[in-house]
Amino acid sequence: MKFLVVDDSKTMRMIVKRTLRQAGYGDHEVVEAVNGKDALDKVTAEHPDLILCDWNMPEMNGLEFLQALKSDGDNTKFGFVTSEGTPEMVQTATDNGALFLISKPFTADTFKEKLDPVL
């Protein structure tokens, strides 16, 4: 299985990868992208099984990236990992096809709770 971690912060990409390991997904491959535009290229090249994506990013934000994927007919499993987790954002995320939204701060248990049902 392959994860695509999308975040403009190198620190957060590292933390998401560490949390994946702590949540029991350490054996899986992880590729990274720094914004939505970069992530679109990585989806084409890497064919990930699950995308974990920040919301606020330069160039192309997470929601725009998700919408671009869906408009291309791409149904790769998609979840947000973001600083803001208001009910309105969760609704917007699910309305656009995201399977879940993990808001920071999070723990490995949060990852297991959200990822286990969709993998």
Q: Which stretches of the chain bind other proteins, using CB under 8 A?
A: 9-12, 14-15, 18, 56, 82-86, 103-107
Minimum separation from the CB atom of position 28 to other proteins (A): 19
Minimum separation from the CB atom of position 13 to other proteins (A): 10
Nearer to other proteins, 90 or 99 (CB): 90
What DSSP assignment string belongs to 14-54?
HHHHHHHIIIIITTSEEEEESSHHHHHHHHHHH--SEEEE-
Nearer to other proteins, 109 or 116 (CB): 109
The DSSP symbol for 118 reads G
Nearest to 118 by CA among 14, 25, 8: 25
- What are the structure tokens assigned to 80, written together? 């947000």
Nearer to other proteins, 35 or 82 (CB): 82
